[in-house]
């Protein structure tokens, strides 16, 4: 069964508590449960990881090279600032999808630039937490195409 890691960056552990107009009311744990449920229906295994620390995220991305068939990443605020995340994702050969709960292009100007986008297969933004489900559906297609 193909394995997908969903890697979440800073402050995503605060889902349901923070800026509900941007991030919705579902908590991080509820998001994880919905992803695992959807993955089971799709014959995928999903493991979710969240950290507020850039180095931890890089360690997970590097480990993914040998452990998973695909990665979904929401790097949070590091999307716009981390060359190191960009570099780690660039070396990862499996399919990668960037997700943002809000539409980063309708928010503050500093959020309009993603350093992650150039090194992933695609980006889903502005569909709320459903964007993770859309990413899961598409990454399954990419994994099948790679095999």
Per-domain residue ranges for the chain?
3-146
What is the reported pLDDT for 103?
A: 86
Active site residue 100: yes
pTM of the predicted protein model: 0.93
- Reported as a single tens digit per residue, the pLDDT across 90-118 is 999 999 999 999 888 887 787 788 999 99
What is the reported pLDDT for 112?
A: 81
Active site residue 132: no
Average pLDDT over residues 75-79: 94
Pick the CATH number of 3-146 from 3.40.640.10, 2.60.120.260, 3.30.70.141, 3.40.50.9100: 3.40.50.9100
Instruction: Out of 22, 23, 80, 105, pick the active-site residue.
Output: 23
Average pLDDT over residues 57-79: 96
- Reported as a single tens digit per residue, the pLDDT across 4-49 is 999 999 999 988 876 555 545 678 999 999 999 999 999 999 999 9
| C-alpha span between 21 and 29 (Å, rounded) | 19
Instruction: Out of 28, 86, 100, 132, pick the active-site residue.
Output: 100
What is the reported pLDDT for 111?
A: 76
Distances (CA, A) of 25 to 19, 53, 62, 129: 9, 24, 31, 10
Q: Which helix (H) or strand (E) holds 124?
A: strand 122-125
Do residues 42 and 136 touch, judged by C-beta distance below 8 A?
yes
- Reported as a single tens digit per residue, the pLDDT across 84-94 is 999 999 999 99
| C-alpha span between 64 and 120 (Å, rounded) | 14
Say which range, 48-62, 97-111, 120-134, has the weakest mean pLDDT: 97-111
What is the reported pLDDT for 21?
A: 58
């Amino acid at each position: 069964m193909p394995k997908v890691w969903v890697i979440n960056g800073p402050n995503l552990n605060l889902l349901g508590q923070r800026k509900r107009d941007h991030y919705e009311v579902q908590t991080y744990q509820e998001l994880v449960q919905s992803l695992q449920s959807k993955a089971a229906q799709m014959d995928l295994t999903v493991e979710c990881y969240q950290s507020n620390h850039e180095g931890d995220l890089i360690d997970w991305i590097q480990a993914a090279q040998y452990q998973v068939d695909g990665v979904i990443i929401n790097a949070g605020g590091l999307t716009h600032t981390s060359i190191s995340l960009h570099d780690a994702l660039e070396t990862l050969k499996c399919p990668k999808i960037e997700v943002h709960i809000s539409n980063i292009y309708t928010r503050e100007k500093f959020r309009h630039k993603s350093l992650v986008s150039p090194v992933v297969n695609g980006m889903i933004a502005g569909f709320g937490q459903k964007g993770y489900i859309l990413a899961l559906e598409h990454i399954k297609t990419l994994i099948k195409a790679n095999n």
